[in-house]
Structure formats: structure tokens, C-alpha cells
Structure 1
Amino acid sequence: MTRTDALTRGLADFEHALAARDVVAAVDVVEELLHDGADAVTVALDIIAAAQRRVGERWLRGEWSVAQEHAATGISASALEAIARRVSRKAAPRGRIVLACAEREWHTLPALLVATGLREHGWDVTCLGASTPADRLASYLHDVDPHVAAVSCSVVGALPNSRRFIEAGTGAGIPVLAGGSAFGPDARRAEALGATAWAPSLRAAADVLDALPAVVSPAPPLPAGLLAEQRVLELEHHARTESLRGHWRPEDTLGPDTTGHDEVAAIAKDCVQHVLYAVQAALLTGDGRLVRDAAEWIGAALTARGAPASVTSALGDELAHELRGRERAVTLVRRYWPR
């Protein structure tokens, strides 16, 4: 069997273990691949990360519940620990990296994947974990003086807080590497928030790290008007979430006994929060794709559960009405919300 065939079979077996909620079988899959000579980074990315992407896609299509998704993530974390145990500590590491999730980012698995991969590439990585406050990060950076600070961000709600992370790092003269799906498909958001560099993947991160300067200047200030509007929206977030949820009830398009009614109702508040955070992030980064992508994600999640496509259009109208008086935010919604 070729190495490619082994990985293909391993991914199928790993996905089967996730579906069965069998942590022992999942760990056995990765340990067998490693025993047969597969590279640790390859197994982490092509088995665990690939399977987790498919888990998210299954939830979005309404095929898996939130409970199934969370169980799969826990199993994947256990499998990653098995890989991490095989990654040897280098006698002379290339440098020290402090890696953390931005505040409000609770998805630690992507950060742990990156930490494991960078250790395999010879870096000494300290992972601070989920939702790291900027002041705690600043204190830690002062204590350990790493070569690089790296921020992981998978959800758009954490992007504004990534800015505070970047300020903490660059304010201490330490280059900041940004990565994670919330930063999007290119460097635009990372650059707008003041990061020193952006990496689209773990494999790319290794090369980006080699090109970072030893010392950097503090990130330049964000435009005052945009920052002020974002911070007002952040302060108003809870009230606007409740107001929007009161006016936008996609579950009412389904009968109370209809399959999907309760699930649509359960995720509607998450949809509202998601798009309000997307607007905040779009303000700070100037990237209206965040609003468009949020609308498409919401539409996919709701229509997969039986709601009509019109509920997504209705949310865009309600959102623009809710944000009236915040002209920059309304302009983003009017321009980027799909019609």
C-alpha cells in the first residue's frame, strides 16, 4: 500500500471512529500511521484537521448535532495528544513562540494542531490556550520574551480581540503571526489589524516564521472613526442581539411540529450574534466579505434545517434597521448582504 493509500484509508477509519464516538479507535488510527512511518505533521493535517473540517460541514448541513460535533472535537484532541507525544523536543530549538487564542476564541484544537506542527519543525512553542486576555498575554510576553507571538482565530467574534493581542505583542517589539479561518483566505484582515505576518496554513507558517524580523514597531493605530463605531457596537452587542432576535424569528416559518423547528429556534440566536460580530470585524478590517460570508453561512445552516431562503434576506433587512444611526455598519450590510 502506498503512503497516499494509507492516509486515505486512515482518514476514512478516523472519520468512522468519530461517528462512533470511539476515542480508542481514533487514537489507534493515528498511532498506526505514525508507527508505519507517516510524518507527524502530515497525520495532524491530513487526518485530524481534515476530519474536523468535515465534522463542521456535517453540522452545517444538519446531518450532525452540536453534541456530535463536540464529541468529535474531544476525540480529535485525544488523537492529537498521541501525535504530540511522538514529537521530540529539539536539543537546540530554532526559537521560542508563544501561541494563544484571541479572547472570545474557545476553539483550541486549531491552535494545538499548529503548536504540534511547529514543534516538529524545531520551535519551542508555549500554547496559552483558549480566550487569552490581552493583558495576561502582555504579562507573559514580558516574562518569557519569545521570538514570536502567534494568534489563532477561528471565529469572527474574536477578530476585534485579535487586534488587542497584536497590540500586546508588537507593543513589546515582538513580531506577531496571525492565522486561523477567521482571518480569511488572504492577508488583508491580518494586515489591517496590524499583524506582522499572516500564514494561510501550518505548512506555510514554517516558512513565514523564518522571514520575520527580530524586532518590530508597535502596530499603527486604527482609524479613529472606525474604532469608535466598533467599540460602540461591542458595548451594545447584547442589547442588539436581543432586539434582533425579537424581530427575526426564522422558526416561525416552520410549523411547531415540523422537523427542524426546534433546531432552527436553537441556533437563531447564534446566527444573530455571528452576524453582529461579523459587522464589527468588517468595520475594523475594511473587509466586507465577512458580512457576505456570515450571510451565506446563516443561509446554509437554516435552509438545511427546512427554513426558506427568505429568512436570510429578512435578517439582512432587520440588521440594517437595527444598526440605523451607525452609518458605516449599515453601508456594509447594504453593500455585502446577498439579495
Structure 2
Amino acid sequence: MDRARVDYWTALRDGDRPAALAAIKQMRDTGRTHLEVIDEVIVPAQEQVAGHWLAGEWTAAQRQVATAINEGLVHWLCSFAPSPPADRPLVVVATVEPEELPALVLAEGLTSAGYRTTLVGGDGVADDLLRQVLGRKPRALLVSASRASSLARLKPVLRHLLATGVPVVALGAAFGGDPARATAIGATAYAASLEEAVVLLEQLPRRLPTRSPEPPGPAEVEAAWLGEFRHEITPYVLRALAARHPARTVDGMQPRWWAELEELVDHVLGCLASSLVTGDETIMVEVREWLTRVLEARGAAALVQDVWEVLALPLRGHPLARVHLAGSAIARGTADGGQTDGVATPA
């Protein structure tokens, strides 16, 4: 098992799909179940992948290739799992994130617990979810979110499901272990683990009282605006950063990690929208700390302050968003000994 684990990691590092598959087959030949391989090898390997990228040791492209290998092999391993009987309850697992590995692992865990499971993700998830819920009438919907920036996208999706009465259980790192974030986006309950989710599925009523969604409040309106214009705000921030730091170019070429800034800034914008829809300003504190770690590893920690300053400019006219943005800068400054980062709180 240890040799196969080493071989698997080497294959991930090299982006070698055939070698990764061979290592997994070797583990299967030693008698390991598909769940043991997923839980003991693939999930920890994915955490290593994320750690190497965070430390600046891997590029975003390397991370994406390794993640795709992990996802593909979870699909392959799950093909060996026996299907639950047709009379067992159906649950739907949903994710709005491009990386589906956490949702895949959750779905397989529920299948092993005896639930028939359908996974919904990718583009058009809102329409697909509504069709699944209305057409198949599942026991419950489980939403998987690893990134806090996903919460703002989930809230309008869940709003449309209120009238169905289907219970919704939220799981994933995006919730930060806080049930309040889950209920704020419209979930019925929060589960910190697969085991807790299984218990909840036994305890929750089969159907909840149906209710009409409340109209969006001011914070949700601002969050929706951010979602609509992220594709314009992100390039604006990148141009402003490049203008502020022309010395970072060498012979007209930007450093290799500069290409990752688009994804980083877009994630910050998504977290700002999530902070608004949940009313949880700690989301912005957390993402600022995370961005600081990422850019420190790339020798560019000073860019964090610039991102916050530049981002405040297109948010004029959106006072709640500016408050959440400025609040995270103040919190960071207080933690550093009372020095703020120069992002003024709007009057």
C-alpha cells in the first residue's frame, strides 16, 4: 500500500494519468475497498495538491491537472460500488464549484450508507436541480461547498427550492464550521461530516412547510450586482495592479504566478458577495488572510493591500460591500498591532 501510495503521488506530481490509474489498481489488488482508497489515498493527496499550490511550489495548471486525475479516479472507483436497492431513499448532492471532488466523495459516502444518490453540478446547476427535485422528489438535497465564494451563488439556487419543502443539508469547508452560514443561504441544517449528514437524514422531516421566498434585501441586491459584474471588475483590478507595479515585469514579461491573479481576485469578489448574503463579515477576514498566505509564498504580499484599495473604487455606490471590504482590512490591521491598511470605511 505504501509503495502504491508513493507511486500515486509521483503520478499526480507528473500529471501522469496512466501511472496514477496503475497505482490505484495496485491498491485494489491488495484488497482495499474503493472507500478505503478514496479516504486514505485520494482525499489526502488532494490536500497535498492544495498545499503545494498554496506554498507556491505548484502552478495553478499543475493543481488543475492533479485535481482532474483525482476526480476521474474517484468516478472509476465508484463504478465498483454496489448500487443500493431501488426502494432506498434518493438524495441529491449538488455543487456550484468547478472542482467536484468533495461533492463526489460525499455522494459516494452516502451511496455506501445505503442512499441512492444523484450528483448535480456544473453550468446550469439551478435549472438542473429544480428539475431533479420536482421530477424525482428526493428525500433531501445536500449542498457541498468548499470555497466561501460559492455561498453567494448557492443562496439564489436554494431560494427557488423553498416552495418544494425538500430539506437541505449543507456541508463543506466553505461554511467554516458555522451553522449560521448554512441557514443564512437557505439550508435547513448544517453537517460537519458525512456521519452527521447521515444522522440528519434520519432525523429531518421528509418534507418541510412550503413557503414563498422573501424578496432580496439590500445586501443581497449588492451581492447580485457583484455576481453580475465580476467579469468586468476583475480585469479592472488586474489592470490597476499592473499599472501600480510595472517593476514586476522583466523584459516585458510578468512573473509566472501573475496569471493566477485573475482567479485570486475573482475569488475575493465571490467572498465579498458571500459575506453580504450571509451577513458574516469574517468571510472577508478569512479570505484576506488566505490571500496574504498565497501572495507571501510568491514574494508579493504587498499586493494584498493594493487589491483592497483598488477594489474599493468600483464599489462606490454599494455601501454595504464597502463596509464588508473595509472591515476586513481593519480587522487585519488590529491583529497586526493596530495599524490599518488604508481602506477607508465609507461614511
User: Shorter-chain TM-score category?
Assistant: 0.7 to 0.9
Quote the residue 1:276 is aligned against: 269
Q: CA separation in 2, counterparts of 1:231 and 1:84? A: 37
* Residues 193-240 of structure 1, C-alpha deviations (whole Å, 9 max, x = no match): 110122223343222322222111347637612222222333333332
- 1:87 corresponds, among 73, 81, 96, to 81
Quote the residue 1:41 is aligned against: 35
* Residues 268, 25 of structure 1: alpha-carbon distance in 2 compared, 3 angstrom cutoff: closer
Q: CA separation in 2, counterparts of 1:108 and 1:10? A: 24
- 1:158 corresponds, among 135, 142, 150, to 150
- Say whether 1:314 aligns with 2:306: yes
Aligned counterparts, 1:230-269, within 5 A: 230-249=223-242, 252=245, 254-257=247-250, 261-269=254-262
Q: What amino acid is the match of 1:123? A: Y
- 2:92 corresponds, among 90, 94, 98, to 98
Instruction: Select between 267-276 and 126-135 the one with higher mean Cα deviation.
Output: 126-135
- Report if the CA contact (8 A) 1:93-1:123 is conserved: no
Quote the residue 2:340 is aligned against: none
**SS of equivalent residue, structure 1 residue 97:** strand
**SS of equivalent residue, structure 1 residue 236:** helix
Quote the residue 1:139 is aligned against: 131
What is the Cα deviation at residue 137 of structure 1? 1.6
- 1:14 corresponds, among 1, 8, 17, to 8
Q: CA separation in 1, counterparts of 2:191 and 2:55? A: 28
What is the Cα deviation at residue 127 of structure 1? 1.2
- 2:67 corresponds, among 58, 70, 73, to 73
Quote the residue 1:61 is aligned against: 55
Which blocks of at least 5 consecutive residues in structure 2 are unaligned?
Answer: 334-347
Aligned counterparts, 1:173-192, within 5 A: 173-192=165-184
* Residues 268-308 of structure 1, C-alpha deviations (whole Å, 9 max, x = no match): 2222211111111100001112212221222222222222x
Which blocks of at least 5 consecutive residues in structure 1 are unaligned?
Answer: 1-5
Aligned length: 329
* Residues 145-199 of structure 1, C-alpha deviations (whole Å, 9 max, x = no match): 1111122223334322211232233321111122232232222211111101222
What is the Cα deviation at residue 92 of structure 1? 5.5
- Say whether 1:293 aligns with 2:304: no
* Residues 254, 45 of structure 1: alpha-carbon distance in 2 compared, 3 angstrom cutoff: farther
* Residues 135, 81 of structure 1: alpha-carbon distance in 2 compared, 3 angstrom cutoff: closer
**SS of equivalent residue, structure 2 residue 93:** strand
Identity %: 30
Quote the residue 2:344 is aligned against: none
Aligned counterparts, 1:170-209, within 5 A: 170-209=162-201
**SS of equivalent residue, structure 1 residue 151:** strand
What is the Cα deviation at residue 18 of structure 1? 0.9
Q: CA separation in 2, counterparts of 1:163 and 1:47? A: 33
Quote the residue 2:161 is aligned against: 169
Q: What amino acid is the match of 1:164? A: P
* Residues 313, 29 of structure 1: alpha-carbon distance in 2 compared, 3 angstrom cutoff: same
Normalising by structure 2, we get a TM-score of 0.85
Q: CA separation in 1, counterparts of 2:5 and 2:193? A: 19
- Report if the CA contact (8 A) 1:30-1:82 is conserved: no
Instruction: Select between 146-155 and 8-17 the one with higher mean Cα deviation.
Output: 8-17
Q: CA separation in 2, counterparts of 1:132 and 1:49? A: 27
- Say whether 1:50 aligns with 2:74: no
Q: CA separation in 1, counterparts of 2:58 and 2:22? A: 24
**Aligned CA-pair RMSD:** 2.6
